[in-house]
C-alpha cells in the first residue's frame, strides 16, 4: 500500500512535452541566459534541461512559450542528468499558475490549480492560435520517467 504524505502528493498532473524556450536569470548577481528545452510541465511549474546548474531560489523568466508568451518562476530543484555533468534538470515553480504551456487538452486538475492561485489570472492565458504540442514518449529523456506519476497526452 502506498502512503501519500503532503510532500508526495502532486498539486497537478505532470505532462511530458518538448518545448524550446529561452531562460534568463532575473537576479543580476546570478547571471544566466540559455536556450533550453522544457521536458515536463504542470500547472504549477516545469522541468527543463540546461547545460548549467542554477542556484536554488534564483528568479527566472521563460520566454518563447507557445503563443509567444513568457512567464516568471523560481528555481526549486537542480539535478545532474547523467554522470558527466554536461546537463542538468532544473525544476521551476511558476509565480502565476495555469496552462501557460499551450497544452490542447490539459488535465482536469489544472483548472483547479489556477483557481487556487493567489495571483490574478485571465480566463484562458493560452491564445486560441497556440500550436498543439506533440510528444515522442519513447525518446530520451521521456523514457527515463516512471509510468505512474505523469499524464500522457491522448490518454486519460
Distance of CA 26 to the CA centre of its chain: 18
Return the CATH number at 37: 2.40.10.220
Give residues with Cβ within 8 angstroms of 54, minimum separation 6.
25, 30, 32, 60, 75, 78, 88, 90
In a domain, 79, yes or no: yes
The tens digit of pLDDT for each residue in 56-86 reads: 999 999 999 988 899 999 999 999 998 888 8
* Number of domains within the chain: 1
Q: Domain range spanning residue 83?
A: 15-98
Please answer whether residues 153 and 132 qualify as being in contact, where contact means their C-beta atoms are separated by less than 8 angstroms: no
In a domain, 87, yes or no: yes
Please answer whether residues 145 and 40 qualify as being in contact, where contact means their C-beta atoms are separated by less than 8 angstroms: yes
The model's pTM: 0.67
Please give the DSSP secondary-structure letter assigned to residue 144: G
Please answer whether residues 21 and 38 qualify as being in contact, where contact means their C-beta atoms are separated by less than 8 angstroms: yes
* Cell of residue 60, nine digits: 527566472
* Cell of residue 100, nine digits: 501557460
The tens digit of pLDDT for each residue in 128-152 reads: 444 555 555 555 554 555 555 555 5
Amino acid at each position: 500500500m502506498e502512503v501519500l504524505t503532503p510532500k508526495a502528493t502532486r498539486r497537478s498532473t505532470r505532462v511530458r512535452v518538448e518545448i524550446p524556450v529561452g531562460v534568463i536569470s532575473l537576479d543580476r548577481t546570478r547571471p544566466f541566459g540559455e536556450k533550453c528545452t522544457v521536458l515536463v510541465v504542470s500547472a504549477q511549474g516545469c522541468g527543463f534541461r540546461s547545460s548549467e546548474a542554477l542556484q536554488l531560489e534564483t528568479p527566472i523568466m521563460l520566454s518563447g512559450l507557445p503563443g509567444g508568451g513568457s512567464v516568471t518562476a523560481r528555481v526549486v530543484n537542480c539535478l545532474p542528468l547523467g554522470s558527466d555533468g554536461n546537463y542538468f534538470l532544473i525544476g521551476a515553480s511558476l509565480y502565476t499558475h495555469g496552462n501557460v504551456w499551450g497544452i490542447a487538452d490539459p488535465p482536469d486538475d489544472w483548472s483547479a490549480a489556477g483557481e487556487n492561485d493567489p495571483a490574478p489570472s485571465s480566463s484562458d492565458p493560452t491564445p486560441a492560435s497556440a500550436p498543439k504540442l506533440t510528444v515522442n514518449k519513447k525518446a530520451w529523456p521521456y523514457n527515463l520517467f516512471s509510468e505512474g506519476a505523469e499524464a500522457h497526452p491522448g490518454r486519460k
